[in-house]
Structure formats: structure tokens, C-alpha cells
Amino acid sequence: SIRIIKKYTCLNMNYLLLIMIHIGVGLHAVGGVWPMPQISASSPEQYPLNPEAFYFEYGRQSEAQPGCSVLDAAFKRYFSLIFPDYFPGDNLSVCAGQASLKAETVWGALRGLETFSQLVYQDDFGSFFVNKTDIEDFPRFQFRGILLDTSRHYLPVQAILKTLDAMAYSKFNVFHWHIVDDPSFPYQSQTFPDLSAKGAFHPMTHIYTQTDVQRVISYARLRGIRVLPEFDSPGHTQSWGKGQSDLLTPCYKGGTPSGAFGPVNPTLPSTYQFIARLFKEVSSVFPDSYIHLGGDEVNFFCWKSNPDVRAFMQKMGFGTDFTKLEAFYMESIVNITSTLNKTAIVWQDVFDYHERIPEDTVLHIWKGVPYDYTKELSRITKAGKRVVLAAPWYINHIAYGQDWRKSYTVQPLNFSGTEEQKKLVIGGEVCMWGEYVDATNLTPRLWPRASAAAERLWSDEKQTSSVEKAFPRLQDFRCKLLRRGIQAEPLYVGHCRHEYQGI
């Protein structure tokens, strides 16, 4: 029997996790764990495992006991992951021994279970083994996210759930749901049902109902993953205007409306009433304490063309500086978010345009090459704001060859700044924008390339600086993903014991 000892109650998400796994068996490879644990010691002593006699158990001193939904579900899930294709009745060798897993929070215990599941291996006869190992682990960064874009292409709920499974295998813990954008509005709002009725690709087949959304949130929660919704405005909102007339700015050609629409109209009170009501709903639907408000790539052309907007600019004393108008809008909606007791995350544009935002707003860095984003990291952390780094991890940008190496060798804290500043980098995010991605190619495009970033965000940088050493481990991890039903693409030539059989 393997005993898991839990000391603390089944609480809400905590950022710092301390996990210890003592397992009385031998060493195959702590190299067999991805991402690499912070501290580990292994030995060649090898113990067989018998699925007939294996079980997880809450320790006597654990505050979490049967009834802790997250761990009850996890024990069941990890049993199947550890013993794939196991049918009760198979008689394997008897094992002796005990392993213990200690964690401060239930989320830490989840990570520990994942690590444990990766230590178990099969020999050529199908027998299960785990080696004597001592692991002390914790993530380098608290925020380790994946962005999915369900507006450029609708992603069936199944595809999202599958992604959450794969995220858990790499210890990602934030699902950034870029749920709506220009091309479509699939989120079915209770307050404003027309948004999806008129703005989705199809009002019945290409939407996320409240049930769908709750399903995603609870599925994520059981895997220790936060769901961070993004309702990006004032740009990227074409689809919003279909179901909410007067929300977007009418563009003018000469003296008359051209029929086209631009960003959200920041001059009308109705805009802010709408946003307030929509965000009220969003903040109750999504339990996370953060909301992503977007704020990127606002094109001023349409605002400039509109006489009412120009008049508003004059009235407000903005002159012809439209960044001030954008700032006015963003500041208003960030305030709305604060009154709803949520913290805002916004794209870096908001900071770049010198907008006045609350101290605890998190900035999301997405632009440019290392030269650009390291400067931005310095700038934003110097201003005392927290940042999440996405710029080097836009893996929707595909290229021929082993581009996972680029993701792996990113150095998030390699910028000029004090220790205090560097502490403000709370983590990073892998972005899979959807212009060229949908359920037909999402999984192979995301995995295992995203796992390279996963190790960069979890593990110690010095221990994981060698791409050459990482390659065989990541190849091995990729085969594990295949075994677990994740359609992860190959890194290079080779094979896995169990290939993907489907189309």
C-alpha cells in the first residue's frame, strides 16, 4: 500500500506548494519526471508494484480525509494513469513498501500525485516498478498558464477538457480562456443573450452555455487549474457589436457613417452600463479572483473618423491624443472590476500608454523579441507592478524543426532589475492563438512544445539549462503523453512503444 499523508484541510488554491514524496523503492530515473523536480535523490533500488494491492490512503494526521472531493477524484484518476490497461484479476508480483506524500495544500498533493505517476514504469513483461526516491518539489513561478483562443475558431468543450488533462501532466495551473474576440462571440451570456445569438459563428452549435462553462471550471479545479477568463476590449470586439447595437464606434467616411464599426465606443454612458452588467455576470460565473480585460491593439482610425468621438476628446481635454481616450476607457473598466472585488490582468499596451491602473493590476507582456521584452520586464517591474511573461512563448507561431528548444532556453529573469523587481515576475504563459488552430490540429501543435515552457516555469533554471540533456527526457515524456491519450507530436525521428493509432 502507498500512503499519502495530508496535513492541511482541503482549501482553496494556494500559490506556494511544498510537496515531499518518500517512496520506499528504487531508482529508474528521476529523469523520468517532467518538469524536473527542484530537489531529488534516487537510488537503483527497485520495487515492484502490484495493481491488485496498490491504493492511495489519507494519512491519520491528515486534515484531508475521504470526502475531500479533489483528492478523492485524483486518487481514482491517478490509479488509472499509473496502471493503464489494468484489468482486475491480473495477478502480478507482490510488493512491499510504502510511499508517503506530504503537501501543504491539496493542490500540492495533486502535483505530487502527478510526479509519483511519472516515476512508475513498466518492464518488457508489463510489470510495474518504482524506484526508491526522495523528492522535494515546488514551482519556481506561481503562474504557469496556457492561453486558448475560442473566438478565431470554436473549440468543442471536449477539446478544452483534453487540454486541461494535458496541462495537469505538465503541472500547468492557469487556463487563460480568451473566449471572445473579433470573429465570434461564443460565450452565452445570461444577461445579454443576443451577444452569442448574433455574434457566435452559429447560435446553437458554436456556443458555450453556462453549463459548458461550469463544466470546464470544475474539470479544471479537480486538476488544480484556475480558469482565467478574458473579455478583451475596447479592441478585438467586432463580434460584440452584432448583438449589442451602439456598443461599437461607428466609423465615418467623410461626413457619413461608412457602415463599418471600430472599437468599443468610450464616449457613451451606455457603454459603461453594459460593461458593468456584463462583468458582474462574468465575475459571478468565473470564481477566480482575477479577470483579464485585454486592452491590446486598439486601432484609433475609427475613433478619429467619428465626429462625436472627436467632440468628446475636446470636451475631456484630450486634444488629439487618442491614447488618452483609450486610457480613459481602460481606467473606467478596471475600476468596475475593482468594485466587483476582482483584480485585473491586462496586456502590456495598457501600461505602455501610461494608463492609471491600481497597484495590484497584473501586466501581461506579449510583444517582441528578447531585446524588447527584457526592457519591458525592467520597465514594468520598476514601476512596482507584477508581470506575466508570454512574449517568448507564442507557440501558435510554428516553424520547421525542433522549435521546442527556443521555448526551453527562455530566461524569464534575465533582465536588468533588483531582486525585488524580479520577485514581481509571477510567471509565464504559453499562447496558442486560434487563427490557424482548431480541434483538428490543437493537440499536436500544443504538445509537447508547451511542456518545454512548463519546465522553464517550474524547475530550477541552473539544473535545466542543457537542451541536450532535456531532449531524451522530453522524448520520453512525450511517449508518456501518448500513452495517456494525448496526441502529442514527435520531437524528432524515433518511436514510442505505444504509438497513436487514430487518424
Could you list the residues that contact other proteins (CB under 8 A)?
151-154, 156, 158-159, 162, 182-184, 201-202, 205-206, 235-236, 238, 296-297, 299, 366, 394, 396-402, 431, 433-441, 443-445, 482, 487-495, 497, 499-503
Q: Find the shortest distance in angstroms from Cβ 207 to other proteins.
A: 11
Q: Find the shortest distance in angstroms from Cβ 426 to other proteins.
A: 20
Nearer to other proteins by Cβ, of 133 and 451: the residue is: 451
CB 243 within 8 A of CB 207: no
The number of angstroms, rounded, from the C-alpha of 103 to the middle of its chain's C-alpha atoms is 22
The rounded distance, in Å, linking the Cα atoms of 22 and 59 is 13
CB 179 within 8 A of CB 229: yes
Nearer to other proteins by Cβ, of 397 and 469: the residue is: 397
Q: Find the shortest distance in angstroms from Cβ 378 to other proteins.
A: 22
Q: Find the shortest distance in angstroms from Cβ 306 to other proteins.
A: 16
Provide the 3-class DSSP secondary structure of residue 173.
coil
Nearer to other proteins by Cβ, of 267 and 396: the residue is: 396
Nearer to other proteins by Cβ, of 296 and 326: the residue is: 296
The rounded distance, in Å, linking the Cα atoms of 221 and 107 is 9
Nearer to other proteins by Cβ, of 105 and 184: the residue is: 184
- Quick one: which of 165, 78, 87, 145 has its CA closest to 118? 78
Look at the block and give the residue holding cell 473579455: 231
Given 297, 331, 376, 461, the catalytic residue = 297
Q: Find the shortest distance in angstroms from Cβ 276 to other proteins.
A: 25
Strand-pair category, 121-122 with 128-137? antiparallel
Going through 204-339 in order, the beta strands assigned E by DSSP cover 226-233, 248-253, 256-264, 290-294
The rounded distance, in Å, linking the Cα atoms of 424 and 394 is 21
Assess whether 297 carries a catalytic annotation.
Answer: yes
The rounded distance, in Å, linking the Cα atoms of 326 and 332 is 10
The rounded distance, in Å, linking the Cα atoms of 215 and 220 is 8
Write out the three cell numbers for 123. 518492464
Residues noted as catalytic: 297
